[in-house]
Structure 1
Amino acid sequence: MLSRRSFIKYAALVGASMCMESCTPVFDPPVSSDTGMPGRDLLNDLIVADAHAHPERFHTIVRREDTIHSLEEMKQARVAVSAFNAVGDHIKYRTGYGWPFHATYQQLSHVRELVKLNQADLVLGRSDIPSPYDPDRPVGAVMAIEGGDALEGKMENLTVFHDYGVRMIGVMHNHNNDIGVHQKSSTDGGLTPFGVKLIEQMNSTGMIVDVAHANTRTLQDIARVTQAPLIDSHTSPIPENRSSRKPTRLRTWAEMEVVAKTGGVIGLWPLAYSHRSHPRTTL
């Protein structure tokens, strides 16, 4: 089975190859010496970004040996830039970090340490992303937070995180919070007054609003408020043959269109759905 990093790498390659093979070429497509496949040279010109990741499991006290080399794997997959997501509601998982703001700040300090050790490059803006891709540079790190619980309902904490280098926040994770309602909650609700102020402030400071894990109403409310493109960093379409109506982490096509109409993008998992009672459905 392909790893996530391998999927990112080879999806771009296969996509380029399919286009070159199915379209009438006006030139002979370049052929890679190592794979014999057309389009490999085109991959060299792409900037590959991972919209959601926890490299080196920096967000948890317990490190697993099978993921300790994830930065190396990202380099092998030619990932130029990646979100480095701290988890804002980690206190709910009793990891020992403390209250949400402190816990998240501590997680992010590990990213700053990776930057200090020259194992990652801190990305604060578009100009920090190398173009074309430079294999000799470390992976670019966009410091991000998954779960606005980390703000503890205080706008001043947003300023602290921004000044520390955070450039993207997923407002929801696995719990309802001061901002809105998460995707698998049985509670009916949307964006709160604090959430409205948060989106407006993030827009004004140029921070990316990630709507992953937000329920439909919260997503729609954010789309009405935002003046900047949104991103849903990690999800997949709900399979047409899915019979269950229980809350899910997947998105309907209508929900994805809400994001797209802001000028935003959807980050898709390689496989649409996986559950012990359902077969995997490929895209």
Structure 2
Amino acid sequence: MITNNPYGVKAKKSYTGYKSYQYLEEGADYKDFGLAKEVARVEPYIYPVSAEQEEKVQQILEDEYIVSLHEHTFVTPENIDSIFEFRRQGRDWTGYEGLSISGLDIVFENYMDGTAFITSNAGWKWNDVLHDLGMRYSDFAHQDMVIRAERIEDLYRAKKEGKIAFVTSLESATQIENEIDRVDVLYGFGVRVMGIAYSEANALGSGLREKNDSGLTVFGHKVVERMNKLGMTIDVSHCGDQTARDVIQASEKPIFITHVGARGLWDISRLKPDDVLKSCAEKGGVIGIEAAPHTTLTQKHKEHSIESVMEHFEYVVELCGIDHVAFGLDTLFGDHVGLHHAFAGALSIKSSHAGPEFEEVEYVEGLENPSEAYHNVVRWLVKHDYSQEAIRKVMGRNVLRVLEETWMK
């Protein structure tokens, strides 16, 4: 258990010190890869606020629902060069220690299904995705801090019990191929949020790397309709622009853009143009601002940090309104920049980040991992005089509203 929190917030979750797969024998049941530190891997950063402001920050973290629309809470190997072998063994470790001091109450956990390379180097294979989910669920079943959230009441119960609710999310529907009933199967496996496409086009529509985006296919329309009926919320973060527009129009319910920024501030395909952001908001949806390395940069802040991320936040608030913005910072435990370098080809990261020149950083200062990120966002909001009602909305209530409208009651 953590007794000294270097990020300035007391551990408040019911964490007993559990480590992933501690019920198995290292070396006999699985290979030891040597994992990165979950806490203080790099110099901890506490966004500077006054003592009075810090007291308000602590009260907000205590009283309000703190929600991440998009995270990967696994722990990378310390030696990032071993990541492909690590992924092929089909077993990920969850950063329970780091999560216990994150301040998060609800996490939209996206696992690592796009890099489930058990049977293929291309990812997104049906059997591999189910393996990935089942392996993580097996680990969850041996601890009691993280709970799987499949209904609205699970989200509210978690905070009351000092736990963290995980919403199972997938960044793409590629793995369903042309089998629409697989959407139902995934729902049965607990998936409650799913993207339409990742980088490459699939049977539903185009991903953001495609040069020719022909929009949502006939099959894609059927999947959107099925997701609406099931109570599975739709995400278009990695969709091409036209596919995203089509999904927003086709869906009878609000959707998420769970982790994104504004192309109006930084001209790369990974970010969304103003019209897509506005359309999402006009249909009642919510946009999560992300902080994966070298995404939400700006001309004013070409070195990625909390300041550039929050410039995107304020831009989207001005464009779409405070009721339609949240945070899906897209962090993890380990060397995120090194991970991007390793996966540059497999995940089309290089092509989706192509654009203006920028200063590469080793990590995003202030938002390096889930342990420090959300504390610092709240500190930034308090320091910049956002009202408690506004903070309540963007830190959780906006997301909960969409779930109330899209999930089964």
Distance 2:230 2:102 in 1: 31
* Structure 1 vs Structure 2 CA RMSD: 3.4
Q: 1:128 aligns with which of 154, 158, 161?
A: 154
SS in structure 2 of the partner of residue 209 of structure 1? strand
Percent identity between matched residues is 20
> Which residue, out of 271, 281, 287, partners 1:250?
271
Per-residue deviation, residues 79-117 of structure 1 (Å, max 9, x unmatched): 1111221455446xxx22457110110111123113311
The aligned residue for residue 106 of structure 1 is: 131
1:1-283 aligned within 5 A: 37-56=55-74, 62=86, 70-90=95-115, 95-98=117-120, 100-119=125-144, 120-130=146-156, 133-134=159-160, 136-137=162-163, 139-240=164-265, 242=266, 248-270=269-291, 272-273=296-297, 279-280=303-304, 281-282=308-309, 283=311
Deviation (angstroms), 1:186: 0.8
Give the secondary-structure state (helix, strand or coil) at the position aligned to 1:257.
helix
Alignment TM-score, normalising by the size of structure 1: 0.75
Q: Cα distance, 1:131 vs. partner?
A: 5.4
Q: CA deviation at 1:177?
A: 0.4
CA contact (8 A) 2:158 2:165 kept: no
- Counterpart secondary structure, 1:79: coil
- The runs of 5 or more residues in structure 2 that have no matched partner are 1-6, 8-38, 77-82, 312-409
Q: 1:132 to 1:55 in 2, by over 3 A?
A: closer
Counterpart AA for 2:86: V
In 2, Cα distance between equivalents of 1:45 and 1:149: 39
Look up the equivalent residue of 1:75 and give its one-letter code: S
Task: Please give the TM-score of this superposition, normalised by the length of structure 2.
Answer: 0.54
Query: Partner letter of residue 272 of structure 1?
Result: T
Q: Is the 2:113–2:132 Cα contact (8 Å) retained in structure 1?
A: no
Deviation at 1:239, TM superposition (A): 4.7
Measure, in 1, the Cα distance between the counterparts of 2:158 and 2:170. Answer: 27
Q: What is the CA-CA distance between 1:135 and the residue it aligns to?
A: 6.5
Using the TM superposition, name which of 42-51 and 217-226 deviates more. Answer: 42-51
Distance in structure 2 (CA, Å) of the matches to 1:108 and 1:155: 19
Equivalent residue pairs, number = 248
Amino acid at match of 1:152: E
C-alpha contact (below 8 Å) 1:46/1:132 kept by paired residues: no
Output the amino acid matched with 1:124: E
Output the CA distance in 2 between the equivalents of 1:230 and 1:178. 20
Task: Classify the secondary structure of the residue corresponding to 2:118.
Answer: coil
Displacement of 1:61 in angstroms is 6.4
Tell me the CA shift for residue 274 of structure 1.
Answer: 7.7
Unpaired runs of 5+ residues, structure 1, are 18-30
Moved over 6 A (4+): 58-61
Alignment check: 8 A CA contact 2:72 2:112 kept? no
Letter in 1 for 2:147: D
Name the CA distance, whole Å, in 1 between partners of 2:161 and 2:85: 30
Structure 1 partner of 2:331: none
The alpha carbon displacement at 1:39 in A equals: 4.4
Report the CA distance shift for 1:123/1:171 in structure 2 as closer, same or farther (over 3 A). same
C-alpha deviations, 1:212-250, integer Å up to 9, x for none? 11111101111111011100111111254x5x6xx5101
